């Protein structure tokens, strides 16, 4: 019999704030974290991290990339919340040597999009101006490894269990959370630090994104309205930076130490489209959604809210709606659906984790967030229950389905429930 898994801690950094509470407050108030930007004449909007977050230069730690520092910050927030609960402290860190054996019962599962982007940009500009005499920092290789964030978290909290890094584009952190769930269900570990981080809003990378022609053009209203999933006028994605973390525990372990469960992680489904490197496929997405519901033993009509992947591209939004229609069936038209990317921007490797945090808080607050700047619903989606405006109060919310789909045909779906 598999172990049940609960969430006991949350952490977040986004364009809307430097912690979970500030992010959720601004999301409720209808703010956008997007700002007008121009990339070589391509007018769009981007979601930079809230300026209160310290950069590597500000912090004085030049041995780590910005994305790794972001990962450490959100892990700190989530671990702090988890350890402040309960009457039996759980080993986190090296000050309690008598609990050393417990460190093998902690795992780290982390998702990334592009690793080390800020490090490369800063260090090669500083040390490699002369190609004949390029001398990059000795920290370069450790700083740009895709597993650098996960390793940094494991070292910080002496987590000697699994340390897994996933790089599956926009599905990375959702898959990291899902893999943590599987490890906890098997009993391999007692506790997991899971999430993702992405920091890659840099000129060279942004110019490459602009060349794909899938970045949103500025909205007629204002730049902060540029991200419009499900809208008839949607025209692309708005990139952003962010990070988020969840502390997951076996339910029995949380009970034993007297910790409060914020929510339950009940299901995980994943698959690959195996169709195209960049074009979404509804069939694969539907399979991942169906598998997550089966894993959770939750019928389609029990889903109270769908936190959609929906990035605001024409084909992407349409494919997801087709997948949801296929899986939810008769319940489709009565199931609230929204995308918080309209306010947060698309954080790529961190998107699944940030949306997981929003999903958990939706369950806790019994409130369903809107697609903030949805104005004119695409007629093709007229039979869908698309949430806009100020969101909706949901006193009977039981299960949230959170979708993440990425380049390479990577699909992941998570099911969260009341504790």
User: How do the pLDDT tens digits run along the chain, 419 residues long?
Assistant: 789 999 999 999 999 999 999 999 999 999 999 998 888 888 899 999 977 776 666 666 667 888 999 999 999 999 999 998 766 556 565 444 446 667 879 999 999 988 777 767 766 666 666 656 666 677 777 777 888 999 999 999 999 999 999 999 999 999 999 999 999 999 999 999 999 999 999 888 888 888 888 999 875 556 567 899 999 999 999 999 999 999 999 999 999 999 999 999 999 999 999 999 988 999 999 999 999 999 999 999 999 999 999 999 999 999 999 999 999 999 999 999 999 999 999 999 999 999 999 999 999 999 999 999 999 999 999 999 999 999 999 999 999 999 999 999 999 999 999 99
From residue 261, alpha-carbon distances to 51, 85, 152, 346, 352 in Å are 31, 9, 26, 28, 20
> 233 with 185: CB under 8 angstroms?
no
Q: Tell the burial category of 320 from Cβ atoms under 10 Å away from its Cβ (0-12, 13-18, 19+).
A: buried
**How far apart, in whole angstroms, are the C-alpha atoms of residue 194 and residue 242?**
14
- List strand residue ranges (DSSP E) for 60-174, in order: 106-112, 163-166
> 397 with 366: CB under 8 angstroms?
yes
Please tell me the predicted confidence (pLDDT) of residue 55. 65
Q: What is the pTM of this model?
A: 0.93
Residue labelled with tokens 């609230």? 336
> 15 with 240: CB under 8 angstroms?
yes
- Catalytic entry in 50, 253, 270, 309: 309
Q: Which of 242, 205, 238, 58 is nearest to 118 (CA)?
A: 205
* 270 a catalytic residue: no
* 346 a catalytic residue: yes
Please tell me the predicted confidence (pLDDT) of residue 96. 46
Burial annotation 270-299 (CB, 10 A radius, 16+ → b, else e): bbebeeeeeebbbebbbbbbbbbbebbebe
From residue 130, alpha-carbon distances to 125, 141, 349 in Å are 10, 20, 33
Please tell me the predicted confidence (pLDDT) of residue 202. 86
- Catalytic entry in 170, 238, 245, 410: 170
Neighbours of 95 (CB within 10 A): 8
Please tell me the predicted confidence (pLDDT) of residue 98. 46
Neighbours of 54 (CB within 10 A): 15
Backbone angles phi, psi at 12, to 5 degrees: -155, 145
**How far apart, in whole angstroms, are the C-alpha atoms of residue 271 and residue 164?**
18
Domains of the chain: 5-263 (3.40.47.10), 267-417 (3.40.47.10)
Q: What share of the chain is helix, strand, coil (3-state, %, to 5)?
A: 40, 25, 35
Overall residue count recorded for the chain in this entry: 419
Residue labelled with tokens 């997007």? 34
In a 3-state reduction of DSSP, which class is residue 43?
strand
Please tell me the predicted confidence (pLDDT) of residue 65. 86
Please tell me the predicted confidence (pLDDT) of residue 219. 56
**How far apart, in whole angstroms, are the C-alpha atoms of residue 316 and residue 319?**
5
Please tell me the predicted confidence (pLDDT) of residue 58. 64
Please tell me the predicted confidence (pLDDT) of residue 104. 79
From residue 172, alpha-carbon distances to 136, 180, 197 in Å are 29, 12, 9
In a 3-state reduction of DSSP, which class is residue 399?
strand
- List strand residue ranges (DSSP E) for 224-339, in order: 242-250, 263-272, 303-307, 336-338
- Catalytic entry in 253, 270, 346, 410: 346
Please tell me the predicted confidence (pLDDT) of residue 220. 52
* 309 a catalytic residue: yes
Give 268's strand partners: 414
């Amino acid at each position: 019999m598999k172990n049940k898994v609960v969430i006991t801690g949350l952490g977040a950094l986004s364009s809307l704030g430097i912690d979970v509470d500030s992010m959720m407050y601004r999301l409720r108030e209808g703010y956008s974290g997007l700002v007008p930007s121009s990339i070589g004449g391509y007018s769009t909007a981007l979601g930079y991290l809230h300026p209160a977050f310290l950069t590597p230069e500000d912090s004085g730690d030049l041995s780590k990339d910005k994305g790794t520092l972001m990962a450490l910050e959100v892990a700190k927030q989530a671990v702090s919340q988890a350890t402040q609960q309960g009457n039996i402290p759980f080993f986190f860190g090296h000050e309690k040597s008598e609990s050393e054996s417990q460190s093998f019962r902690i795992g780290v599962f982390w998702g990334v999009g592009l690793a080390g982007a800020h490090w490369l940009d800063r260090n090669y500009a500083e040390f490699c101006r002369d190609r004949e005499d390029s001398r990059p920092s000795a920290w370069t290789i450790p700083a740009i490894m895709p597993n650098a964030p996960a390793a940094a978290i494991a070292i910080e909290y002496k987590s000697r269990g699994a340390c897994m890094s996933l790089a599956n584009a926009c599905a990375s952190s959702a898959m990291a959370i899902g893999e943590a769930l599987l490890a906890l269900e098997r009993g391999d570990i007692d506790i997991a630090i899971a999430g993702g981080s992405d920091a890659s809003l840099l000129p060279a990378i942004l110019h490459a994104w602009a060349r794909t022609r899938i970045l949103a053009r500025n909205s007629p209203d204002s730049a902060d309205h540029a991200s419009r999933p499900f809208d008839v006028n949607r025209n692309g994605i708005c990139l952003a930076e962010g990070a988020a973390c969840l502390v997951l525990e076996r339910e029995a372990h949380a009970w034993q130490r007297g910790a409060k469960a914020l929510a339950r992680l009940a299901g995980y489904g994943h698959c690959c489209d195996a169709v195209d490197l960049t074009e979404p496929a509804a069939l694969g997405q539907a399979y991942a959604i169906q598998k997550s519901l089966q894993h959770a033993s939750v019928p389609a009509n029990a889903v109270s809210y769908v936190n959609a992947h929906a990035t605001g591209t024409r084909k992407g939004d349409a494919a997801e709606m087709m997948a949801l229609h296929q899986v939810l069936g008769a319940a489709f038209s009565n199931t609230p659906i929204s995308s918080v990317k309209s306010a947060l921007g698309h954080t790529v490797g961190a998107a699944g984790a940030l949306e997981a945090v929003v999903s958990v808080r939706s369950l806790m607050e019994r409130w369903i967030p809107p697609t903030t700047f949805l104005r004119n619903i695409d007629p093709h989606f007229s039979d869908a229950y698309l949430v806009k405006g100020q969101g909706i109060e949901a006193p009977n919310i039981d299960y949230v389905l959170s979708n993440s789909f990425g380049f390479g045909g990577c699909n992941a779906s998570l099911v969260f429930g009341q504790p």
